[in-house]
Amino acid sequence: MLELDVSPRLLTASFTQGNEGVKANRLDNHIRYNLTTDRNKTMRTRFFAFALLLSLLIASTAHAAGTQLTWYGHAAFKITTPSGKVLMLDPWITNPANKNGAADLAGITKADLILITHGHFDHVGDSVAIANLTGAKLVATGDLADALVAYGGYPKAQAGMDTQGNVGGELSLLGGEVKVLFVPAIHSSAVSPPAGSLNTDPHSGGNPGGFVISIAGGPTIYATGDTDEFSDMSLIGKAHKIDVMLCCIGDHYTMGPVRAADAVKLVGPRYVVPIHYGTFPILTGTPAEFGEALKKNGSKAQMTVMRVDQTLNL
C-alpha cells in the first residue's frame, strides 16, 4: 500500500513553511559579514546559494499548484486542478460514512463541474445543493441530465449540451484544462424523484457509465462508476495511461474485491483507490480483501486506501 501524500511536495512544503524565513535571514547576515572579508568570492558563493534556495522555492510552489483529490466516502470526490478549477464527482457528501458530511457540504462554496456517473441517489447525492450554490455545470449523459433537470431539481441552465456527452465522446472543458471521456459501466441508472415528490416512480437515467478525466499538467483519473468488470476495460487502459483508478469494490450492487482486482489488471493503472464499500453493512468488500486479490492476480497497480476527508496531492 502506498500513501500518496508522503510525497516530495510535503517535504518541500514543510521546508518553505518552517524554515524559509529563518534561512533567508541567516543567509542575509552571513552575506553582510563576509562582504567585509572576501567580497568577491563570498558574493559568488552566496549568489549561487541564494539562486539554489530560490529555485527550490519556485519548484515547491510549482508542485503546490498540482492536482488535489479529496475523498468524502462512498464514491464522492472533489478534484482541484492546477489552475484551481473544482470538479465534484458523484458528490454524495452527506453519506453515512462521512461524519463531517454536513460541514463538508457547507464548505463547498466553489465548483465548476459536477460529474455524475449514473442516476442512483447515492451518486446524485448533494449535486443539486452544490449546483444551486456554485453554478456548477452538469457533466453527464444527455439522458441523465434531462432526467435530473425534469425530476431531480438540477438547474436547467447548468445542464446544457456543452457539458453533456455519451459513451465514446471526449469533452474538452474549462478552456481545455480538463478532458472527460465517457466510458461504459455495467450497472443500471434509474433516477429517484426528490423526497416529498408526488410522483414516486423512478425515471430512466439512460445508460450508466464511468469517466476518464485527463487533467492538463496533472494526472489521468479513471472513475469506474458502479460496475462489474468487463473485458473492454482493457481498451480504456490502452487508450489512456491511467494514473489513478477510483474503483468500486463493495460487492452486492457492484463488483466485489476479487472481480475488482481483475478489473484493475485489465486497466493497468499506476495507483488504485478502492471506493464504494462499507457505506452500508451490505457493501461488504474490504480493502484488505482487495489488496489480497491484487497480489494474487499479479496486478502491478499500487493500492492507496484513502481516509474519509483525506486529500491526496497528485
Residues that bind Zn ion (CB under 5 A): 120, 226
| Residues in contact with 126: Cβ distance below 8 Å, sequence separation at least 6, in sequence order | 91, 92, 93, 94, 105
- 275, 71 in Cβ contact below 8 A? yes
Least distance to Zn ion, CB of residue 226, Å: 4
Q: Is 148 helix (H, G, I), strand (E, B) or coil?
A: helix
Least distance to Zn ion, CB of residue 219, Å: 25
Our CB check for Zn ion shows the closer of 120 and 137 to be: 120
Least distance to Zn ion, CB of residue 276, Å: 8
Cα separation, 24 vs 247, in Å, equals: 45
Other Cβ atoms closer than 10 A to 239: 12
Cα separation, 256 vs 247, in Å, equals: 10
Our CB check for Zn ion shows the closer of 15 and 253 to be: 253
Our CB check for Zn ion shows the closer of 177 and 226 to be: 226
Nearest to 314 by CA among 87, 99, 101, 94: 87
Q: Is 192 helix (H, G, I), strand (E, B) or coil?
A: coil
Least distance to Zn ion, CB of residue 122, Å: 6
Least distance to Zn ion, CB of residue 120, Å: 4
DSSP symbol at 91 = -
In the chain, count H helices and then E strands.
9, 16
Our CB check for Zn ion shows the closer of 112 and 126 to be: 126
Cα separation, 37 vs 277, in Å, equals: 67
Q: Is 31 exposed, middle or buried (0-12, 13-18, 19+ CB in 10 A)?
A: middle
Identify the sign of the CA torsion 166, 168, 172, 177: positive
Our CB check for Zn ion shows the closer of 78 and 120 to be: 120
Least distance to Zn ion, CB of residue 121, Å: 9
Least distance to Zn ion, CB of residue 257, Å: 18
Our CB check for Zn ion shows the closer of 226 and 262 to be: 226
Our CB check for Zn ion shows the closer of 126 and 226 to be: 226
